[in-house]
Amino acid sequence: MKPPGVESGPAVVHGLGRGSLSLRTLLAAFVLALAAPAAASAGLVSMHVRDVSLGSRSLSASRPAAPFDMLGVHWIGSGSVEYRTRSATGRWRPWRRVDADNRSGAWHDGDLDWTGRSLAVRFRVRGEVRRLRSYELDSRVLSAPVRATTSAEMPAIVTREAWHANEEIVRARPVIASRIRVAIVHHTAGTNSYTRSQSAAIVRGIEAYHVLGNGWNDIGYNFLVDRFGTVYEGRGGGIERNVVGAHAQGFNFGTVGVALIGSFNSTAPTAAQQQALVDLLAWRLDVAHLDPSSTVGYTSSGNYKFRAGRVVTLRAISGHRDTGPTECPGARAYALLPSLIHRVAVTGLPKLYSPEVVGVLGGTLRFRARLSTPLQWTVTVTDRHGAAVATGAGHGTFVDWSWRSGAAPPGPLAWVIAADGVRAATGTLGSGSGLPFVPSPVPSLSLTALASVPSVLAPAVDGSGTGATATFTLGSAANVRGQIVDAGGRVAATVLAEQRDAGPNSLSWSAAPLVDGRYRLVLTATAVGQSVTKAIGVVVDRTLSSLQASSLAISPNGDGSQDATSAAFVLTRAVPLRIDVLQGGAVRATIYQGTLGPGPQTIGWDGTAAGAALPDGLYQLAFTVTDALGDVRQTIPITIDDTPPALSLLDRSTLAFTLSEPAIVTLLVNGQSSIVIGEPAGRFTVPFAGPVTSVVARAQDFAGNSSATVSG
């Protein structure tokens, strides 16, 4: 998993890609998501992706593949993008500027807007925009979901199950931080005019867009709040756990992200929305024992505003604009933060803040905390059977008690700091408490599973191809320093310098400032007098860049649909080039070997080896250039699939079908209503208002194979 906020590239539909990194990973992610067993939420959201031709600054209206009610836009360039949509009644809505709070390499990842039912969209650009991609989503509106609570202190929250989150597209298990240090307030942008029932559809659409459009592991926010004051659970993993989201690039670890559904640049959040935000943060920060009025020094892991390693002073409740180059959460919402912080601070008193245990089991341990008002407090340490080992007590605003633990039994021991009317703070000694103290015995420090994707970075003139993601696992919490070291052993860049929690971790880094060469990514983890270092080789080579394929899935059967693919790339100089077809690491064929000159190049492949058709399966096109760095290889995955999907009509009245594999299904209902949807394998139904008198349908898989037409 990438650092939240840049977790991976976007999903790719119909061969659309952003470069070699996206092409390697994302069509597979989309296909696998559709191939998974259909959940209750499967089919509630369909998404169509297309590149928009930039023939003029004011782009002509275009009719999407299907009606939509949510729109996301990605683009490359320093300029901005605006859009307007045409309603179902034929009226063109006002122009809207696309907000882009996130960056994935050279791409601006625009926020997802609720447009209402739309039949067409028109774009216009201002300034430099070199590529433009449209994500059109249809998120079906159901009845308003039911809110639930699990404790008296917790506000009512609509769970993921209740809003029909699609758990099948979630790409990784949640990462859990040891503690929450900051709450970050966002807005989703888009319209403020939506109904209670549409709120859940918006949340479902955001999940699909974040995962299949932005390529993140799950929905980016931890919570969302609509204009009616309804709170929605966001990223999965547990609402009381410190789940790392993807809401503030460079500032996701140890933060909780709350998004207000709507746009608040010129309009303030509703009173109900503000109160729900106050109640949510008062409860969630109390769970974290975080003082809402405090400030925190946070070390950025890197974004376009704060480089990696930069220490930024943040309020415990901050706006997204405090952490990155964005207007989020909007001028009106941001101006409310001081009053909202005060309201959070006085809600649910009394409270206990900043509990910590400092010391080593076997020596002197110091228990400290702060109370919102003077109270009688106690500290209790118990053994594994629940018997008290030590107790302390006092009165006042500050908890400060020391215990000489030399005669204590071996851990784990449990500790509790409690006071009348407050949420008690708890932890363990000897097995890690998640709070800032040194446990005993000292856990073994390890750094394993270091990987960096891609291993070859090919920066292009347009800024693409510069980003990489490194993943690693820590055996215990440690301070981690990441450096890019050149062949001479000199540090070319420092890409990470911060405390990280035990378990899976990740970092993003950019090759943009590096010259071509062979480097090592060196990670050093340090904790409690221990240190461990791991390194992995990476290459920066601009000789061959912008590698992408016209189609990542082909069906070489001569039917004229995706019979072949072509790989486009750019060479900066004349170099020897070899293109091999690999399967399981073995060379099945060499489709080109020679020297090509500088400039754009295109090589086609028809799915054969020495003139013989290759069987269905997953292959790689490997592009190896020989330059000053030796042999440098980049690859693109290509699937050969010559088997058409099987589509069956089960019930005409309910438009119930079955599919043998993931596919795009096109329907003509009652001779006039055209519907295009993406569906997984298995049984599915297509919603339609009114009686169905006739239906004609056909499915096309991602390799261009078409099913037989079914009708009823």
Q: What would the pLDDT profile of 154-189 be if each residue is shown by its tens digit?
A: 899 999 999 999 988 888 889 888 889 999 999 998
Condensed to tens digits (0 to 9), the pLDDT of residues 184-243 reads: 999 998 789 999 989 999 999 999 999 888 888 999 999 999 999 999 999 999 999 999
If one compares 20 and 216, the residue with the highest pLDDT of the two is 216
Q: What is the Cα–Cα distance from 127 to 77, expressed in whole angstroms?
A: 8
pLDDT of residue 52: 86
The predicted structure's pLDDT at residue 39: 30
Least confident span in 67-71, 210-214, 687-691: 687-691
Q: Encoding tokens for residue 506?
A: 């990740």
Pairing of strands 182-187, 255-260: parallel
Output the pLDDT for position 315.
95
Q: Is the bond leading into 67 cis (omega within 30 degrees of zero)?
A: no
pLDDT in tens, 364-400: 899 999 999 999 999 999 988 888 999 999 999 999 9
**The model's pTM:** 0.63
Contact 208, 47 (CB under 8 A): yes
Q: Does the pLDDT at position 267 exceed 60?
A: yes
Question: Is pLDDT above 80 for 458?
Answer: yes
Cα Dmax for the chain: 86
> What is the distance between the terminal CA atoms of the chain, rounded to a whole angstrom?
46
What is the model's pLDDT at position 152?
Answer: 59
135's torsion region: left (phi>0), alpha (psi -120 to 50) or beta?
beta
CB of 521 closer than 8 Å to CB of 482 = yes
Query: What does the block give as tokens for 194?
Result: 């939506």
Do the Cβ atoms of 166 and 176 come closer than 8 Å? no
Tell me what pLDDT residue 229 has: 96
What is the phi/psi pair of residue 254, to 5°? 80, 20
Are the C-beta atoms of 127 and 77 separated by less than 8 Å? Answer: yes
Q: In this structure, what DSSP letter does residue 487 have? A: T
Instruction: Please tell me whether residue 89 adopts helix, strand or coil conformation.
Output: coil
pLDDT exceeds 70 at position 101: no
What Rg value do the Cα atoms of the chain yield, rounded?
27
What's the mean pLDDT when you consider all of the chain? 85
What mean pLDDT is predicted for residues 2-24? Answer: 32
Q: What pLDDT score does 281 carry?
A: 97
User: How big is the CA angle at 287 (ends 281 and 293), to the nearest 5 degrees?
Assistant: 50
Please check whether residue 352 is in contact with residue 370, taking contact to mean a CB–CB distance below 8 angstroms: yes
Q: What is the pLDDT of residues 570-622, one digit of tens each?
A: 999 999 999 999 998 899 999 999 999 999 999 999 999 988 999 999 999 99
pLDDT above 70 for 20: no
DSSP 321-368: GGTSSS-TT-HHHHHHHHHHHHHHHTTT-S-EEEEEEEE-BTBEEEEE
Task: Decide: 5 and 247 in contact? Cβ < 8 Å.
Answer: yes
